[in-house]
Chain A
Amino acid sequence: MSARQPRFNQHLLIDTTPLPSSIPSVPEIGSSSAPLLSASYFIGARCKPYNDDFMQCKTDANGTGETDCLREGRKVTRCAASVLEDVNKSCLEEFRQHWSCLDDNNQQLWQCRRWERPLNKCVFEKLNIEKKIPGAPENEVQVHLRKRQIFAHSMTTQ
C-alpha cells in the first residue's frame, strides 16, 4: 500500500477488511493464468464494449479512476465471468486440455495448437465466438490457423 512495497522477513501483512456494503459486490473470477490466456480471445470478442467503456472511463478520470470506475469494472468482471461460465458449460474437455497444455509449455500458445483447434471449433459452434487477431496482414493466413508452426518443439503438439 505504501509507495515502496515493504518486505517483512517474518510475516505477511494482509488487511482483510472487506469492502463496505455500500459498494455492490461482484463474484471474482478466481482463475489462474492458463485458463484466462486460453479464453482471452473469447473474452475480448464478447466483452469488447465493456472493456472499451472501462478503459475510456479510466483514461477520462484523470487520477480518480480507481474509485470512479468501479461500476464499469463490475460490468467487465461479470461479462468475463459469463464467458468463462459458458465455455465451461459447453466445451469443458477441450478447454481443460488446452489450458493444461499451456501450463506445461510456459504459456506459449504456439506449442498447443493441437488442442486449440478443437477448442476454437467447439466455441465457434456452440457460442458463436470466433478467434481473430486484429491488425494481422490480410493476405496471410492467421498464425493460429497455420498448418505448420515453425517454432513448436515437436510435430505432435502442433
Chain B
Amino acid sequence: MPQDMPPTGGYEPVQYRRNLPVRGFRPAYYLVALGAVMTYGFWRFGQGIREKNELAREKMWSRIYLTPLLQAEEDRDLVRRTLAAGKMERELMGGETKVYNSDRFVRPTYAVTPANVTK
C-alpha cells in the first residue's frame, strides 16, 4: 500500500549554521573618505565666502564712487526747497524765524501746505 515516505535519497542538508558575512571596507577607509568629502566641501564653501566678500567690496566701491554725485544733487534740491520756504515765509510772515542760535542747517519741523491744491 503507498505511504507518504521521504524521497529515496533523503532530503538535502538543512542550513542551520549562521551565515552573516562581514561586509564593507575597513572603518579607517570610511573615515578617510568622510574627511576628504568634508574637506572638499569646506574648501568650496570658503571659496564661495571669499568670492562673496570680493563681490561685496565691488558693490561698496561702486556706491562710494556714486555718493558725491547723488549727494550733490540732493543738496541742490534741499537748498532750493529751503530758499523757497524762506521766501514764502518772508512773504507771509514778514521775516524768517531763527530757531537756533547758529547758522547750521536744521530741517524745519513744520511744512507749510497750500490751502488749495491744484493737482
Q: Do A and B originate from a single complex? A: yes
Q: Which residues of B contact A23 (CB under 8 A)?
A: 79
B36 within 8 A of A: no
Secondary structure of the B contact surface, majority rule: helix
Q: A63-71, A92-100, A118-126: which one contacts chain B?
A: A63-71
- Starting from the known contacts A3-B108, A73-B71, A142-B54, 20 additional A-B residue pairs (CB-CB under 8 Å) come to A6-B111, A13-B117, A17-B81, A29-B69, A40-B65, A44-B61, A44-B64, A50-B68, A63-B102, A63-B105, A65-B75, A66-B75, A66-B78, A69-B72, A70-B75, A76-B69, A77-B72, A150-B47, A150-B48, A151-B55
| Residues of B in contact with A (beta carbons under 8 Å apart) | 47-48, 51-52, 54-55, 57-59, 61-69, 71-73, 75-76, 78-85, 87, 102-105, 107-111, 113-114, 117, 119
> 7 nearest interchain CB pairs?
A44-B65, A73-B72, A63-B104, A17-B84, A40-B62, A143-B54, A51-B68
Q: How far is A44 from B60 in the complex, measured between Cα atoms in Å?
A: 12
Between A and B, 11 residue pairs with Cβ closer than 8 Å are A2-B111, A13-B111, A40-B66, A51-B69, A63-B105, A76-B69, A109-B55, A110-B55, A140-B54, A143-B55, A144-B58
Chain A positions within 8 Å of B, measured between CB atoms, are 1-3, 6, 11-13, 15, 17-20, 23, 26, 28-29, 36-37, 40-41, 43-44, 47, 50-51, 54-55, 58, 62-67, 69-70, 72-74, 76-77, 80, 109-110, 133-136, 140, 142-144, 146, 149-151
**Residues of chain A contacted by B79 (CB below 8 angstroms):** 19, 23, 66-67, 70
Could you tell me the distance in whole angstroms from the C-beta of B18 to the nearest C-beta in chain A? 53
Min distance, Cβ B77 to any Cβ of chain A, angstroms: 9
Contacts of A67 in B (CB 8 A): 79, 105
Nearest CB to that of B72 among chain A residues?
A: A73
Question: Which of A6, A66, A76, A110 has the most CB atoms of chain B within a 10 A radius of its CB?
Answer: A66
The CA-CA distance from A29 to B66 in the complex, in Å, is 12
Residues from chain B with a CB closer than 8 A to the CB of A18 are: 80
**Bound Cα distance A41, B55 (Å):** 14
Q: Which residues of B contact A134 (CB under 8 A)?
A: 61
Bound CA–CA A155/B103 (angstroms): 57
